[in-house]
């Protein structure tokens, strides 16, 4: 197998690994600041009288806010790359080593600004429920939120950079992605936010809130805010929750995103290989159709395997934990 093809597969694995890290930290960041899905608990708690010491980070949903951080990082990195790359001809990676972290730092500053405004604004708008602004909660959560967002945005910007230069990095510049860095950051940000929003959230969703209830049972709305009040020892804050979720929820979310990226890219590359598209892109012929057909067939096989696996798993869970309430 030619070295270009091996390098392409290697970079694809690097992208999948970075996606795993990114989505793990994305889920933990949303738990730390109670964004998106967990936010409904925090927003509701004060309204049903459960005054809490939680951070109310209501920066829209996760897809949009992550798109914003990644676009900011991508734009700043792109501007810096444009200035720095001519200084190191032939060794453009040196410019990226400097440009990407600076861009991500800019995105983290924006994240912290938006977190501050949303926490203060939402708490001030709940005046009649007697929810005070605790300054130690405000200051104490900003740095952890920023640190988790740094990891997410850094990995995503790296993925966007690798993708927009994947041909150059693996020795065949014709394979470079046609989109610019900020646009790729936008698309990847939306994706990582969507997966982080739909998966994970074990603290607010199922594991902790319903752990003393029969399998599959819901809870009365009046008890919903209680989850924000007391921990095993003392008053609960979100710094405990990140530790709780880092054991299962975060890595689970990361694995979801990493597997999605792995399967889609792997099928594409294998399809291109089987269709005779690699290592050199031929002029557009019927051979391109063969690459697409191989990709689709492989994708369908993976989907079928996953569906069968899920079916077996759900059957096993129902057998082990008993029927749902009401069945």
Partner 1 sequence: MTVTPAVIEEEAPTKKGLSFKFPPEETEMGIIAGIIGAVIVIFTGLPAVIKGVGLILVLLWGMDSVRKTSKYGLGTGVPSIGVLSTGYGVVGALMGLAVAEYGRVGQLYPAVLLGVIVMGVIGLVSGVISNSEKFIAMKIPRLERGMMELGMAGTLAILLECSIVTGSLNFNAVVNQVMNTGIIALMFIFNCFAMLHPYNACLGPDERRERTRMCAVEISGLICILLGFAQLALGTSPYGPLDAVSMIVFGAIVFAVFFWKFIKACMDEAYETVGTGMIKTIE
Beta-bridge mates of residue 230: 235
- Residue 119 has φ and ψ, to the nearest 5°, of -65, -50
Burial readout 122-157 (b: 16 or more C-beta within 10 A, e: otherwise)? bbeebeeeebeebeebbeebbebbbebbbbbbbbbb
124 binds partner 1 (CB under 8 A): yes
- Provide the minimum distance between the beta carbon of 173 and partner 1 in the complex, in angstroms, as a whole number: 18
- Provide the minimum distance between the beta carbon of 136 and partner 1 in the complex, in angstroms, as a whole number: 4
Judged by CB, which is closer to partner 1: 113, or 307?
Answer: 113
- Provide the minimum distance between the beta carbon of 117 and partner 1 in the complex, in angstroms, as a whole number: 5
Torsion angle of C-alpha atoms 121, 231, 252, 199, degrees rounded to 10? -40
Q: What residues numbered 131-190 form the site for partner 1, per CB under 8 A?
A: 131-136, 179-186
Q: What residues numbered 263-322 form the site for partner 1, per CB under 8 A?
A: none
Cα(177)–Cα(18) distance, integer angstroms: 18
Judged by CB, which is closer to partner 1: 63, or 167?
Answer: 63
Number of neighbouring beta carbons within 10 Å of residue 305: 10
210 binds partner 1 (CB under 8 A): no
- Region binding partner 1 by CB under 8 A among candidate stretches 17-25, 93-101, 112-120, 256-264: 112-120
Q: Tokens at residue 303, please? A: 């989907």
120 binds partner 1 (CB under 8 A): yes
Cα(234)–Cα(232) distance, integer angstroms: 7
Task: Fill in the per-residue mask, 10 to 49: x = in contact with partner 1 (CB under 8 A), - = not in contact.
Answer: ---------------------------------x----xx
> Nearest to residue 314, comparing CAs of 304, 327, 324?
324
Beta-bridge mates of residue 235: 230
114 binds partner 1 (CB under 8 A): yes
Judged by CB, which is closer to partner 1: 37, or 295?
Answer: 37
User: How many alpha carbons fall within 13 Å on the CB side of residue 111?
Assistant: 35
Q: Tokens at residue 231, please? A: 């921990």
Q: What residues numbered 64-103 form the site for partner 1, per CB under 8 A?
A: 64, 67-68, 71-72, 74-76, 78-79, 82-83
Contacts with partner 1 by CB under 8 A lie at 43, 48-53, 58-61, 64, 67-68, 71-72, 74-76, 78-79, 82-83, 110, 113-114, 116-118, 120-136, 179-186, 222, 229, 235
């Amino acid at each position: 197998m030619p070295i270009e093809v091996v390098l392409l597969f290697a970079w694809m694995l690097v992208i999948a690994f970075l996606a795993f890290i990114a989505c793990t930290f994305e889920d933990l960041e949303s738990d730390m600041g109670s964004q998106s899905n967990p936010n409904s608990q925090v927003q509701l708690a004060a309204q049903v009288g459960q005054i809490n010491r939680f951070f109310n980070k209501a920066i829209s949903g996760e897809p949009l806010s992550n798109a914003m951080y990644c676009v900011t990082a991508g734009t700043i990195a792109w501007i810096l790359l444009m200035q720095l790359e001519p200084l190191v001809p032939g060794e453009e990676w040196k410019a990226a080593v400097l440009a990407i972290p600076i861009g991500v730092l800019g995105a983290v500053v924006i994240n912290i600004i938006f977190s501050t405004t949303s926490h203060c604004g939402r708490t001030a708008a709940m005046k009649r429920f007697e929810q005070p602004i605790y300054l130690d909660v405000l200051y104490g959560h900003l740095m952890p939120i920023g640190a988790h967002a740094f990891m997410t945005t850094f990995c995503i910007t790296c993925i966007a950079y690798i993708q927009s230069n994947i041909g150059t990095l693996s020795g065949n510049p014709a394979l470079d992605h046609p989109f610019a860095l900020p646009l790729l950051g936008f698309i990847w940000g939306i994706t990582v936010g969507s997966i982080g929003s739909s998966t994970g959230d074990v603290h607010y969703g199922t594991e902790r809130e319903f752990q003393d209830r029969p399998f599959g049972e819901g809870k009365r709305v009046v008890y919903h805010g209680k989850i924000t009040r007391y921990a095993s020892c003392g008053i609960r804050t979100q710094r405990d929750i990140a530790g709780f979720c880092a054991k299962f929820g975060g890595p689970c979310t990361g694995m979801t995103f990493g597997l999605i990226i792995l399967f889609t890219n792997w099928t594409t590359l294998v399809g291109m290989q089987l269709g005779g598209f690699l290592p050199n892109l031929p002029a557009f012929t019927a051979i391109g159709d063969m690459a697409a057909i191989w990709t689709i067939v492989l994708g369908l096989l993976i989907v079928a395997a996953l569906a069968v696996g899920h079916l077996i798993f759900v059957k096993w869970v129902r057998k082990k934990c008993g029927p749902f309430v009401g069945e």
